[in-house]
Amino acid sequence: MEGGKTVAKVFIDGETLTIEDVVAVARDGAKVEIPKSVREKVEKCRQVFKEFMKEKKVVYGATTGFGALGSVIILQKSVKELQFNLIRSHLVGVGKPLEPDEVLRLMFSPVGVGSRSVNFFAKLQKGDP
């Protein structure tokens, strides 16, 4: 790593991810690990979401559209397709192709952010705004 220490392993815990960690993964080949406690929280979050789906609750961006379409309810049979299309739309770009390490940085960063979403779903489950 340029001007700093080399990171052999980066832990995704939703709290401690740094720019240096992202660079270590993208450029230096650092291994990525998601601690068991975080995987358990993500699985719990997934179960809460599945329960919301079963109860036909409205969840912005999951059971509704986005932005101006945020009040449009998505049919349950189309929710999976909506999420797939969201990912697909974020993968489309124009211009000069990115370098491999740039792609890795872009792919890796949402993982750290996503692991923080667990708290959001936990609050939703409790009825907290």
Identify the CATH number of the domain in which residue 28 sits.
1.10.275.10
Token match 């390490």: residue?
A: 101
Count of domains for the chain = 1
Residue 118 included in any domain: yes
Cα angle 67, 114, 101 (rounded to 5 degrees) comes to 100
**Predicted confidence (pLDDT) at residue 40 exceeds the cutoff of 80:** yes
**Predicted confidence (pLDDT) at residue 118 exceeds the cutoff of 70:** no
Residue 17 is which amino acid?
Answer: L
pLDDT, greater one: 108 or 17: 17
**Predicted confidence (pLDDT) at residue 88 exceeds the cutoff of 50:** yes
Active site residues: 60
Residue 49 included in any domain: yes
Residue 15 included in any domain: yes
Tokens of 50: 């599945």
The span from the CA of 24 to the CA of 30, in Å, is 5
Nearest CA to 109 out of 24, 28, 46 is that of 24
The span from the CA of 100 to the CA of 51, in Å, is 38
Categorize the per-residue pLDDT at 68 as very low, low, confident or very high, splitting at 50, 70 and 90.
very high
DSSP letter assigned to residue 32: E
Residue 54 included in any domain: yes
